[in-house]
Structure 1
């Protein structure tokens, strides 16, 4: 079962926030919220919202909010 990982990175590539869960619909909703909450200034500066899947909780960043 894949684990969906939502990540938001600042312009220097540092992970700013992360939420992980096993529910695809919930993950996609969260990803859309991450994207929508980035201001135009943040986007222009290089902030990025990313959604990816991993196969193990060991692959999820340690500081993530984990929902299951």
Structure 2
């Protein structure tokens, strides 16, 4: 299982994306993504989301891919 963290802007464009196979690292990254959204960004509709995929081919191309 691969964990994918994304910060998405109001228009649905992925602004930041990090993918890794370590769940603890993925959860830490997700907390960081959420905490780093400013109040203005949240009010404008920015979101931080975490999801899982089965293969690296399902990870967005622009993602930073970590193998740990």
| TM-score of the pair, normalised by structure 1 | 0.97
Structure 2: which 5+ residue stretches go unaligned? none
Question: CA offsets, 1:32-67, max 9 Å, x none?
Answer: 000000001100000000000000000000010000
Segments of structure 1 that go 5 or more residues without pairing to the other structure are none
Please name the residue that 1:49 is paired with.
48
Give the aligned length.
67
Question: Displaced runs of 4+ in structure 1, greater than 6 A?
Answer: none
TM-score using structure 2 length: 0.97
